[in-house]
Structure 1
């Protein structure tokens, strides 16, 4: 039996499960809010063109209005200054968008400190138990933040001192980008950097190092609690927008059992 046939039969029989890791996309989906003087993307909205009426008697359809980095989305290298000579979202090879997923669980740490930063030692401790990070794989950081995915205020968790959401240290971002074989890094928060990552050196290090090294980010993931530390296959499906710096994406995990 071929691998593809085996997969198809497993999906049909239910022995291969599909876990949807994507947040729903609507006008109420929580989005990033940059402070002045920086400009923000527009939120997602639908514009009705017809609805079984005179403009279209047998059909209903809409225009979509949205920013590239809204909801569950992918960051392409050209999104960041360090990757400006790199790929746009249409140029990312499909083979780089499918790969093994590993889940590093730091929920307990984040419950104590919403400004938690993932460090190299957290990953090396994980590797000591589960094995090395996989070639062409995705490191998914489970923080429990998806519980806020329908609440703009809680999702950004901002006060006068900034946005308090977990992320990754500059040292760890550089190490992931330059010393590991992964294709990308995924989070449950609004962006791949910590909420107050402008204060790190360099600012927004996950963006700076990963996108500058032809690696990709995915954000606003859901249901990471349904995945084991290893053993899932991730499928990231963005729109191939020519010149696009990113795209809303449907993200799935395939899991045996």
Structure 2
């Protein structure tokens, strides 16, 4: 298998930083390792055992601590399962199932089966939003509710940011940090720690480079479960206006929110997502 890291030393540094972050998880959690056809999958489990299940899928270049700011609220009402996607810089296997096939859904079948879940609500962001939506399309009986933040696979995947990033990265660490800020849309001073972590990650990690498959109008129209989609109007990676337009046109009962001054990284939506998930 081709490694997803640029070096063994870089992999070790990312892993150490992630394991340190896991120690700051704000609520009690179980660290569960689920065997799947794609290799072992790491899941961070919190919340009451008898609460409704909620599966959380992070984006590219990230891991379960994506949800650190949300989990204290969500785990009061749900049994939360923050999954490290395979092929991303977490503690899951480095395999990367093909996106254009049903392989990602089959992997999630294994994850849910290994956790003893017949169905769950899902929340996903970016690549994780694409994976959650793909699963809802292919396994609608296993998805109770679906909350998507800046999801891929609906609006056009834009590439205009790429040239700017390539230029900025010529300027060393400061340029790399600035390029991460441009893509994520995290440019306020309080986003400094998040940018530091992202800069470290993308200094050592090789992300997926293929375009995400786009869901058809028919596939979107077939979604019968309650659906929430939140996008940032300034998203540098996806055409958020097209995402909102296609969801509204094809899924009339969906709730769609466009945040005017927000980029690709969508923060501060804990209460909105919780209110939707609780119905």
Q: TM-score, normalised by structure 2?
A: 0.25
Bigger Rg over Cα: 1
Q: Pick 1 or 2: higher relative contact order, CA cutoff 8 A, min separation 6.
A: 1
Q: TM-score, normalised by structure 1?
A: 0.27
Q: More strand by proportion, 1 or 2?
A: 1
Q: More helix by proportion, 1 or 2?
A: 2
